[in-house]
Amino acid sequence: MENKKKQSLCPASTKCGGCQFVDMPYKEQLKRKQKRTEQLLKQFGKVRPIVGMAEPAHYRNKVHAVFAFQKGRGIVSGIYQEKSHRVVPVENCLLENQKAGEIIQSVRELAKSFKIKAYDEDSGYGLLRHVLVRVGHATGEIMVVLVLGSPILPSKKNFVNELCKLHPEITTILVNVNNKRTSMVLGEREQVIYGKGYIEDELCGRRFKISAKSFYQVNSVQTEALYAKAVEYAQLTGKETVVDAYCGIGTIALAVAGEAGRVIGVELNKDAVRDAVTNARINQIKNADFYQNDAGRFLTQMAEAEEKVDVVFMDPPRSGSTEEFLDALIRIRPERVVYISCEPETLARDLKYLTEKSSYRVQEITPVDMFPFTGNVEVITKIQFVEKGRK
């Protein structure tokens, strides 16, 4: 096994498991994703050709590494081995933004010289647990989040000075405290130790504030392609009431606000909602409101209040939407629904439910390659309410 993979583009590929398609020509990767989308979704409607990337390497704007102590090596940084908690050291990853990778190496080397110990998950001993780096694709702003097992970073000032001296592009540094036995990277508590505590980036001509805990699409180039498709599928004329469900920091809502009468965003994560409200202000958008709530519960309340909605965007996490959400959607009966999904299997489940229970029909499906070299595929779907008697 080790021998066979010797020629791999990535020395960690046999252990990491993050890139199922690491050594496959890019065209072939796209073919596979097209096929998978068709197998799962063709039954609901026409599948268009996948939107691929011109330059697929190093697309990830968010890079994470875990720290561990390994005998003979000292502190190492890398990723968890597939299905385990063993850390595979990584120096150079094909997916990750290269600057972010260099910053992670510097954090590790500085930890050595500052004698900061890696956190040990079993004993809870040690301090430095993870590092998360986020790079603004358009702005170049960089956030570094040091995730610690306890709140105090010794020689904090010197550590920050040294790191910023090595990488003057860093615009903000945070400490996040995670002392729980969990596979989640970030804990609740955070403290800004340098800069403004968030980064800004630009997408679709708008500016967005992004906090450490907010969701932000990891592939900025493809996000613009995805949102352009979302705008096309929504067919807005300037008058519509639009819901952006699972809205994150409000990117879709704010990208379409100029072409709608009113937009309403709903999102569970409170930091993301706060960012969305700020983002409306930054972009001087006055017809957007954001609510912190479960999307299913929120939509049910809208249905009960008999609110009129013309278009719904929905972009749930991998687990997909819920029957509660879809039932409320059927009651509200918007003319169109644009469903963005990062997991075609749960999308297929939700489409089955929706089309069996209602007169909604899928008009078109487009896969978008948001995650080159991995087996994951993003899919955007245009769903239309079809009047009785018409098919």
Cβ distance to ligand SAH smaller for residue 164 or 204: 204
* 26-41 vs 344-357: helix crossing angle, rounded to 10: 30
Structure tokens at 36: 């998978």
From residue 250, how far is each of 9, 55, 149, 381 by CA, in Å? 37, 27, 31, 19
Q: How far apart are CA 50 and CA 37, in angstroms?
A: 9
CB of 126 to ligand SAH, least distance (A): 30
Least distance in angstroms from the C-beta of 314 to ligand SAH: 9
- How many angstroms separate the CA atoms of 129 and 139, rounded? 28
| CA nearest neighbour of 169 among 106, 217, 118 | 106
| Residue 204 region by backbone torsions, left for phi larger than 0, else alpha for psi between -120 and 50, else beta | left
Cβ proximity to ligand SAH: between 127 and 350 the closer is 350
HSE (side-chain half, CA atoms, 13 Å) at 332: 28
Nearer to ligand SAH, 81 or 322 (CB): 322
- The CB-side HSE value for 214 (13 A sphere, CA atoms) comes to 29
Catalytic residues: 342
Closest CA to 39 of 47, 49, 50, 27: 47
Of the two residues 251 and 381, which places its CB atom closer to ligand SAH in the complex? Answer: 251
| Least distance to ligand SAH, CB of residue 103, Å | 23
CB of 253 to ligand SAH, least distance (A): 8
Min dist CB 152 to ligand SAH, Å, is 30
**Which are the contacts of 111, defined by CB distance < 8 A and separation ≥ 6?**
67, 75, 118, 128
Rounded distance between C-alpha atoms, residue 173 and residue 227, angstroms? 30
Residue 317 or 375: the one with the smaller Cβ distance to ligand SAH is 317
- For 127, 135, 144, 238, 252, the CA distances from 160, given in Å and listed in that order, are 16, 18, 10, 48, 35
In whole angstroms, give the CA distance from residue 230 to residue 345.
20
Taking the complex as a whole, how short is the minimal distance between the CB of residue 234 and ligand SAH, in angstroms?
Answer: 13
Which one, 118 or 272, has the nearer CB to ligand SAH? 272
**Where do the DSSP E strands lie in 238-348?**
241-245, 262-267, 288-292, 311-314, 336-341
> Which residues form the interface with ligand SAH (CB under 6 A)?
215-217, 246-248, 251-252, 266-269, 272, 294-295, 315-317
Write down the least CB distance from residue 27 to ligand SAH, Å: 27
How close are the terminal C-alpha atoms of the chain, in Å? 53
Given the complex with ligand SAH, which of 63 and 338 has the nearer CB atom? 338
Helix (H) or strand (E) holding 63: strand 62-70
